[in-house]
Amino acid sequence: MSLHFLNLSVSPEPAPAGLVGFAEPDWKGDADFDGLSEAIDLDGWLADLAGQIDAGARQGWLTAYQARRAGFDLQSIRCQVRFERLKPSPEGLRAVLSRIDRLSRIVAAMRPATVVRS
Helix axes 90-110, 64-86, angle to 10 degrees: 160
> Percentage of the chain surpassing pLDDT 90?
39
CB atoms inside a 10 Å sphere around CB 19: 13
pLDDT digits (tens, 9 = 90+) for 75-84: 999 999 999 8
Give the Å distances, CA to CA, from 38 to 24, 35, 91: 24, 9, 11
Percent of the chain with pLDDT over 70: 62
Would the pTM of this model clear 0.85, i.e. be above it? no
Alpha helices by DSSP H, listed for the chain, are: 42-59, 64-86, 90-110
